[in-house]
Amino acid sequence: MTHNRNQMVTLARRPQGKPKREDFLLVEAEIPKPADGEMLIQTLYLSVDPGMRGMMEAPKSYSPGFKVGQPLTGRSVGRVVVSRHADFAVGDFVYERLPWQHYSVSDGRKAKKVDPNVAPLSTYLGVVGVPGFCAYFGLKEIGKPRAGETVVVSGASGAVGMTAVQLAKLESCRVVGIAGGAEKVAYLRDELGLDAVVNYHATDDLRTALGQACPDGIDVYFDNVGGDITQAALSLINHHARIVICGQTSQYNHPSESGKFAPELLIQKSALMQGFVVYDYEDRNDEAVARLGQLIKEGRLQHRENIIEGLENAPQAFIDLFDGKSFGKQLVQLVQTT
């Protein structure tokens, strides 16, 4: 163990609108002791996810809400440092949803061993973790892209979006990303080879800009952000379009301002709109890991991480998600692993 005391990030109060530093507190506590059948996990990486914002409200999103005064929880990768559990040994690496703290006790029921020889530990929170699974299952099971179709992905420079655009390219689709800022646009176009990228910060008329990037309309819209971007995309859908609702990041800080949804459009275009939570496909996670891992090995799937160090910086990393400051999978590293 490398610390004498535990440190945790708690929710100090429920954020109003965009989260602020004062909404979070860094608190010290004793390091908990595992009982028989339990283990002590030292967290190495925390995943910083926009969906956590919904959990800071009263519990109405797809996960149970956070409690004021209690630590935030999130997807984490850690190392077993004490074990009184028959199935886990000291030194094992595990993935689990854990409190945002250095040390956590686990009964192992929801812990999954991860192997750094198969994929780098951090990627179990990104491209071979939930964001990768969202892209994989959202496209495969709902978007069902066919060669030659136009696939549009919002939040294309984020962890989910970046994987979704590449998987759609592998299906020989015309792929259009939507992102904010010249650096992200250049990466998506030049590094990932997208057919077009719309910089939504650089236009007052998103519908026209997106229309120019999609001369044949939109067959699959993979939505990570919602709001005006989604309204623009929906206005361009083709007959039998598929609309994959993965996330609504632009709406998380302003839940009452959700964009105007036009169900009549779905009728006019005989289109399918379907939301999902990644846990719908939990029993198929190994399939996704195998496919995504294989593509990475073959050099056909790239990923990008934005790793900052120190638990104390986790609240700011979360706040920055809503300012477009993160680029790729946002992680916090608590301990050096080598």
SS3 percent helix, strand, coil of the chain, rounded to 5, is: 35, 25, 40
> What 3-state class would DSSP assign to 32?
coil
- Minimum separation from the CB atom of position 63 to ligand NAP (A): 9
> What 3-state class would DSSP assign to 52?
helix
40 token code pair: 């002590």
Residue 242 CA to residue 1 CA, distance in Å, equals 50
Q: What φ, ψ does residue 130 adopt, rounded to 5°?
A: -55, -45
Site residue total, ligand NAP (CB under 6 A): 33
52 token code pair: 């956590």
User: What type of residue sits at position 125?
Assistant: L
**Interface positions, 266-295, toward ligand NAP (CB under 6 A):** 276-278
Pick 71 or 177: Cβ nearer ligand NAP: 177
User: What type of residue sits at position 69?
Assistant: G
132 token code pair: 């990768």
Dihedral angle over CA of 121, 127, 129, 133, nearest 10: -170
Most distant CA atoms of the chain, gap in Å: 63
Pick 88 or 252: Cβ nearer ligand NAP: 252
- Minimum separation from the CB atom of position 6 to ligand NAP (A): 27
Pick 209 or 321: Cβ nearer ligand NAP: 321
CB contact at 8 A, 323 and 201: no
Among the listed residues 44, 180, 213, 301, the single contact to ligand NAP using CB under 6 A: 180
Give helix 206-213 / helix 227-234 axis angle, nearest 10°: 50
Stretches 43-51, 84-92, 95-103, 114-122: which one binds ligand NAP (CB under 6 A)? 43-51
- Minimum separation from the CB atom of position 154 to ligand NAP (A): 7
Q: Around Cβ 61, how many Cβ atoms within 10 Å?
A: 18
Tell me: does residue 176 bind ligand NAP (CB under 6 A).
Answer: no
- Minimum separation from the CB atom of position 261 to ligand NAP (A): 16
Pick 14 or 146: Cβ nearer ligand NAP: 14
> What 3-state class would DSSP assign to 102?
coil
Pick 51 or 99: Cβ nearer ligand NAP: 51
- Minimum separation from the CB atom of position 88 to ligand NAP (A): 26
Tell me: does residue 247 bind ligand NAP (CB under 6 A).
Answer: yes
Pick 120 or 180: Cβ nearer ligand NAP: 180
Pick 80 or 130: Cβ nearer ligand NAP: 130
Stretches 31-39, 94-102, 180-188, 212-220: which one binds ligand NAP (CB under 6 A)? 180-188
CA angle 93, 102, 107 (to 5 degrees): 55
Pick 29 or 308: Cβ nearer ligand NAP: 308
Tell me: does residue 308 bind ligand NAP (CB under 6 A).
Answer: no
Which residues face 74 on adjacent strands? 98
**Interface positions, 126-165, toward ligand NAP (CB under 6 A):** 130-131, 134, 155, 157-161
Nearest to 14 by CA among 56, 51, 50, 62: 56
Stretches 2-10, 142-150, 212-220, 326-334: which one binds ligand NAP (CB under 6 A)? 326-334
Residues at the contact surface with ligand NAP, assessed by CB under 6 A: 49-51, 130-131, 134, 155, 157-161, 179-181, 184, 224-225, 229, 246-250, 276-278, 321-322, 324, 326, 329-330
